[in-house]
Amino acid sequence: MKLRKSKLFGAIAIAASIALTATGCSSGGGSNASGQVEVFSWWTGGGEEAGLNALVEVFKQEYPDVEFVNAAVAGGAGTNARAVLATRLQAGEAPDSFQGHAGAELFDYITAGQLEDLSSLYDEEGWRKVMPATLLPLITVDGKIYSVPVNIHRANVMWANPKVLADNGISKPGSWDEFFAAADKLKAKGITPLALGEQWTQLHLFETVLLGVLGTDAYNGLWNGTTGWNSVEAKGALDTFKRVLTYTNSDAASLSWQDASKLVIDGKAAFNIMGDWAEGYFRVDNSLVEQEGYTWAPAPGTAGTFQFLSDSFTLPVGAKNRDAAIAWLKVAGSAAGQDAFNVKKGSIPARNDADKAIYPPYLQSAMDDWGSNKIAGSLTHGVTASNAWKAEIDTALGLFLQNKDVAKFQAALATAATSAGK
Amino acid sequence: MKRAKDWMPGLLLTAPSLVALAIFVYGFIGWNFRISLTNWKALSPDYSFIGLQNYRDLLVDERFKIDIKNSLIFTVVFMVACLLLGLLLAILLDQKLKFEGLFRSVYLLPMAISFIVTGVVWRWLMNPATDDRISGINLLFTKIGLDSLVNQWHLTPNWGMAGIALPAVWQMAGYTMALFLAGIRSIPEEIREAGRVDGASEWRIYRHVILPQLRPIALSAIVILGHISLKVFDLIIAIAGKQLALDVPAIYMWQTSFDAYNFGKGATLATYILFSVAIVIIPYLIFTMRQERNS
C-alpha cells in the first residue's frame, strides 16, 4: 500500500511538471548525463540574466569539461519558479543546484530534508571567514550550513527624482512625518508623491514602513516573537502605512515595479520605494546618471539600517551530478565568481573580501553601509518569514487594501504570527 | 448474452483510453480529495488525517468569501453578455448577408487565441491611468469626446471583476454566436414559412418560432461558458497578476499550494472548484442522457 501511494504520487507530480513545462516555462530538462550541471534559478532577464551568464563564464573557465544547463524559469522574485521547483523536488527530479532566498524561505526546504549539509565545503573553502556573520545564521540549522550566498540586495531604499525635489523645494525625507509634509506640497501641484506598483511592491512598501516606524530592534522582534503584532507600536505603523497609501498613484495595481520607477524617472512621481535592483534599472536600462536623473536615500525612518535579502545556491538531496554541483557551488562562493556576477546583477557580493574598485558608486556605498549599518531582514524577499507565514501576511495585506480597516488588518497579522508559531 | 467476438474488439480498442481516463481523471480527483483531508502544510508530504477541518476553515475564510463573490460577478457578467451578444450576432448573420463567411470568421477568430494573449492585450487596452498618462480605451474615449466613459476598468472598486469579464466576452461571444447560428440554421425553413403564411412578423417568428427551438443550444452554451468562468485563472493572471481585489478560487488554490506550500488547503480549494463546476455540468449530463434515451 505504501509503495502504491508513493508511485501514484510520483505520477501526479510528473504530470504536474509536464503541464508546467508545457505552459512555456523554459526548463532545461533533457538528459542528466555526467559532465553536466543543471542549475535552477529565476534569473531570465536584464541584469539578473547578465549576472548569471557572467558567473557561468567563470565556471566554464575553471571547469571546461562540465556542461552548464540553465534551467531558469521566468517570473519576478521566483513566483513561477518555486512552483516548478516544488513539483520537481517532490517527483525526485531535483536540479543539481537551485536558487533560494537565504533565510526563512530556505528553511522550508531544509526542514523538508531536501537539502544537503554544506558545512564541510565551508571548511574546505574557508568560507566561514569570508561570509558575513550576519548571514550565516540565516542559512544554518542545528549548526549545519545549507547554502552558498552569492549576493546581497538592500530593500529599504527610497528613490527620488532630483529635479522634482529641487523644483518644489523638497529634501529627501528622513522620517514619515517629513514625507507627509513634502507629499502634501507635491499633491497640491498634481505630482504623485509616491509611485507604487502591483501587490508585491505594496508588501515591499509595507515592510519598509514597519521598519521605519518601529525601528530596527522592534522590527526584528516581529519575526522572532519579541514584538507583538497586537502592540500599540505596531498599530502606529499600520496607521502610518494607511496614510502613506493615500499619497500613491491610483493605478498601482496595474503597474510593475519598473513602471513605478519609470514614473519617478519621468517626473510624474517624486518618490518610489524599491530594492536596490532598481539602481540598475535607472543607471543601465534608462542611461541615467546618479544625482542628475535619480537620487536615493534610505526609506524614511530607516537611516543607519540595512534591510537586506540574499540569493543563495543549494545542493539538493538526490542531485544527479553531485560532483559537478559542488564544483558549481565552489565557483558561486569564490571571490572571482561573486565579483563577475554582482557587477552585472547590480548587487553587492556576499563575501566581504570583494574587489570594491570594480563596482559602480552606488554599490560601493552599499558595501560600506552593509559593513557599518544595523541589519534587518526583508519579509517580501524571504528572509524573515516562511513561505506560509508570508502568504498569510500577503492575504491580510490584500484584504486591507480592499477595506482599509486597520483593526482587522492588525488582528489578521497577529493571527498569522500565532499560526506561524511566534 | 452476447458472444465475446462482438464486444471484445471494441473493449480492447477503448481499453487504453479507459485506463488512462480512470487514472488521470478519476484517480487524481480521488487523490486530490484525499489530500484535502490531510494536514499537509510543508514541502514534504504529510498524510495525517484531519477530517473536514480544511473545509470548515474555508467556510469562515475572509479571502474565500471575496473569491466566491468575484467568481459570481464574473460568471454572471460573462455568461449573460456572451449569450445576448452571441444571439444578437447570430440573428444578424442569419439575415442572408453578403460577406457572411467573412463576418463569421472575424467574430469567431478571438476564440483561437489563448486567454494569456487576450489578457496581455486587454491589460494595455484597459489601462486605468488617468490625466496625462491616459492610454488604451480611455484615451480613445477622450479623443472622441466621450470623457464621461473614462473609467478604472478592472480596478473599479467592488466591480473590477466585471471589467475582467470584458476580454472574456470578447473572446467567447463569437463562439456562442457560432453555436446559435448552427442552431438557427438547423431549423427547417418550412417552419418559418408556415409562420409567415400565418401572418407573423419577422420579430414574432424569432420570438415564438426560432428562440424556443434554440433552448437546447442555449443550455449547451451555458454549460460550456459556465465551466470556463468557474475555473478562470490564466486571464486574470495575465491582466492583473495576483491581487486580492481580483482573486478567484483558482488563483487562491495556486497561491496556497505553490506559494505557501499548504497543499491540504490547496486541495480543498481544488475540490471546491470541482464541485462548483459539477453543479453546472451534472444536471446537464442527466438532461442530455434522458433526452437521448427518449429519442
Which residues, in sequence order, are bridge partners of residue A248?
A194
So what's the pLDDT on residue A134?
A: 85
Residues B39 and B109 in one domain: no
Domain check: are B256 and B213 in the same one? no
Are residues A55 and A328 in contact, defined by beta-carbon separation less than 8 angstroms? no
- d(Cα A330, Cα A324) in Å, to the nearest integer? 10
Q: Is residue B74 part of a domain?
A: yes
Among candidates A112, A132, A171, A71, which has minimal Cα distance to A353?
A: A132
Q: Cell 517527483 appears where?
A: A91
For range B207-232, the mean pLDDT: 91
3-state SS assignment for residue B108: helix
Q: How far apart are CA A73 and CA B2, in angstroms?
A: 56
* Per-residue pLDDT at A34: 52
At A46 the pLDDT is: 76
- Of residues B42, B152, B244, nearest to A395 (C-beta): B244
CB pairs under 8 A between A and B: 102
End-to-end C-alpha distance for chain B, whole angstroms? 25
Residue B24 CA to residue B248 CA, distance in Å, equals 25
User: Which domains does chain A possess?
Assistant: 2-151+312-371 (3.40.190.10), 154-307+379-419 (3.40.190.10)
Contact A8 B31 (CB under 8 A): yes
How high is the mean pLDDT of chain A?
A: 88
Indicate whether B73 and B159 sit together in one domain: yes
Residue B8 lies in a domain: no
Chain A residues touching residue B28 (CB < 8 angstroms): 12, 15
- Asked if pLDDT for residue A9 goes beyond 50, the answer is no
How would residue A4 be classed by pLDDT, with cut points 50, 70 and 90? Answer: very low
- H helix or E strand, kind and range, residue A35: none
* Nearest in space to B234 (alpha carbons), one of B168, B280, B154, B288: B168
CA distance A279 to A285: 9
Beta bridge partners of A99: A313
DSSP annotation of B214 reads T
Residues of B in contact with A9 (CB under 8 A): 31, 45
Whether B191 shows a pLDDT value over 70: the answer reads yes
A362-384 pLDDT, tens digit each: 999 999 999 999 999 999 999 99
B209 and B77 housed in the same domain: yes
Task: Give the integer Cα–Cα distance in Å for B241 and B207.
Answer: 43
- For residue A394 the three cell numbers come to 500577503
Residue A124 near residue A329, CB atoms below 8 Å: no
Q: How far is A108 from chain B (nearest CA, A)?
A: 7
Interval A123-151 mean pLDDT: 92
CA dihedral sign of residues A402, A227, A101, A419: negative
Residue A150 has pLDDT above 50, yes or no: yes
Of A53-57, A278-282, A294-298, A308-312, minimum mean pLDDT range? A278-282
Q: To the nearest whole angstrom, how far is the Cα of B167 from the nearest Cα of chain A?
A: 16
Q: For residues A240 and A209, what is the distance between their CA atoms, to the nearest angstrom?
A: 7
What distance in Å separates residue B42's CA from the closest CA in chain A? Answer: 7
Residues in chain A closer than 8 A to B151 (CB atoms): none
Same-domain pairing of B95 and B49: no
- Per-residue pLDDT, averaged over B174-186, amounts to 94
pLDDT number for residue A76: 62
**A392 part of contact set with chain B, CB < 8 Å:** yes
Distance CA A322, CA A314 (A): 11
**Residue A400 to residue A406: CA distance in whole angstroms:** 7
**Can you give the residue range of the structural domain that contains B292?**
15-61+248-295
pLDDT at A10 over 50: no
- Amino acid found at A240: T
Has residue B236 been placed in a domain? no
The pLDDT value given to residue A251: 84
Name the residue among B44, B132, B240 with its Cβ closest to that of A253: B240
Query: Using 50, 70 and 90 to split pLDDT, how confident is the model at A27?
Result: very low
B212 in a structural domain = yes
Question: From residue A335, how far is each of A58, A73, A289, A352, A354 by CA, in Å?
Answer: 11, 26, 28, 9, 6
Rounded-to-integer distance, Cα A10 and Cα A60, Å? 34
Structure confidence by residue, pLDDT tens digits, B195-206? 999 998 888 999
Any chain B CB within 8 A of the CB of A420? no
Count how many domains chain B has: 2
C-alpha to C-alpha distance for B129 and A255, rounded to whole angstroms:
10
pLDDT of A66-125, one tens digit each?
A: 999 999 987 666 777 888 898 888 888 999 999 999 999 899 899 889 999 999 999 999
pLDDT for residue B294 = 83
- In the DSSP assignment, the letter for residue A313 is E
- Examine the domain organization and report whether B267 and B220 are in the same domain: no
Could you give the angle at which helices B115-125 and B160-185 cross, rounded to 10 degrees?
Answer: 130
Nearest-Cα distance to chain A for B245, in Å, is: 7
Higher pLDDT, A246 or A34: A246
Distance CA B171, CA B188 (A): 30
Q: If residue A70 lies in a helix (H) or strand (E), which one and from where to where?
A: strand A67-70
- State mean pLDDT over A17-33: 38
> Mean of the per-residue pLDDT values for chain B?
91
Chain A residues within 8 A of B19 when measuring between CB atoms: none
Angle at which helices B215-230 and B160-185 cross, to 10°? 150
If one counts every other C-beta atom within 10 angstroms of the C-beta of residue B19, the result is 10
- Amino acid identity, residue A356? K
Residue A110: name the closest of A376, A102, A96 by CA. A102
Counting beta carbons within 10 angstroms of the beta carbon of residue A65, is it exposed (0 to 12), middle (13 to 18) or buried (19 or more)?
A: exposed
In a domain, B128, yes or no: yes
How many CB atoms neighbour CB A169 within 10 A? 8
Q: How many CB atoms lie within 10 A of CB A181?
A: 12
Total residues found in chain A within this entry: 422
Residue B113, SS3?
coil
pLDDT at A77: 65
Given pLDDT bands bounded at 50, 70 and 90, which one contains residue A131? very high
Phi, psi of A145 (to 5 degrees): -95, 135
Inter-residue contact B224 to B217 (CB < 8 Å): no
CATH number of the domain residue B72 falls in? 1.10.3720.10
Q: Which amino acid is at B80?
A: V
Type of residue found at B151: N
Q: Smallest Cβ distance to B62: which of A83, A109, A399?
A: A399
Quick one: residue B27, left, alpha or beta (phi over 0 = left, psi -120 to 50 = alpha)?
alpha
Same domain, B154 and B283: no
Q: What is the pLDDT of residue A351?
A: 93
User: In chain A, how many H helices and how many E strands?
Assistant: 18, 15
Comparing alpha-carbon positions, the chain B residue that sits nearest to A76 is B241
Can you tell me the mean pLDDT for A144-164?
96
Tell me: do B74 and B211 sit in the same domain: yes
Cα distance between residue A93 and residue A200, in whole Å: 30
Q: What are phi and psi of A420, to 5 degrees?
A: -85, 0
Nearest to B245 among A5, A89, A253 (CB): A253
Alpha-carbon dihedral sign for residues A221, A225, A228, A230: positive
> From CA B157, how far away is CA B173, in angstroms rounded?
26
Q: Give the CA count within 13 Å in the CB-facing half-sphere of A256.
A: 11
- CB distance A240 to A213 below 8 Å: yes
- Answer yes or no: do B218 and B258 share one domain: no
A37 SS3 class:
strand
pLDDT digits (tens, 9 = 90+) for B229-285: 998 999 999 988 888 889 999 999 999 998 888 999 999 999 999 999 998 889 888
Residues in chain B: 295
The span from the CA of A252 to the CA of A195, in Å, is 8
Taking CA atoms, what residue in A is nearest to B46?
A112
Angle at B280 between CA B276 and CA B283, to 5 degrees: 130
User: b/e string for A398-422 if b means 16 or more Cβ within 10 A?
Assistant: bbbbbeeeeeebbebbbebbeebeb
Q: For A231, what's the count of Cα atoms within 13 Å in the CB-facing half-sphere?
A: 16
Least confident span in A77-86, A188-197, B92-101: A77-86
The three grid cell numbers given for residue A88, joined into one nine-digit string? 520537481
Chain A closest-CA separation from residue B259 CA (Å): 6
* Structural domain contains residue B28: yes
Per-residue model confidence (pLDDT) at position B79? 95
Of A391, A400, A381, nearest in space to A420 by CA: A391
Lowest mean pLDDT among A213-222, A275-284, A410-419: A275-284
Q: Does residue B87 sit in the same domain as residue B220?
A: yes
pLDDT-derived band at A8 (thresholds 50, 70, 90) equals: very low
Region A330-346: mean pLDDT is: 94
Mean pLDDT to the nearest integer, A391-397: 94
Whether residue B237 lies inside any domain: the answer is no
CA-CA distance, A286 to A157, in Å (whole number)?
Answer: 18
Question: Residue A35 corresponds to which amino acid?
Answer: G
Task: Tell which of B261, B262, B263, B265 to mutate to test the A interface (max A CBs under 10 Å).
Answer: B261
- Residues in A closer than 8 angstroms to B123, CB to CB, are 254
Instruction: Flag whether B241 is in a domain.
Output: no
Amino acid at A147: S
Is residue B85 located within the same domain as residue B206? yes
Each residue's pLDDT tens digit, A166-186: 999 999 999 999 999 999 999
pLDDT band per the 50, 70, 90 thresholds, residue B2: low
DSSP string for A83-112:
HHHHHHHHTT---SEEEEETTHHHHHHHHT
Predicted confidence at residue B275, as pLDDT, reads 93
On whether both B102 and B196 belong to a single domain, the answer is yes
Rg (CA), chain B: 24
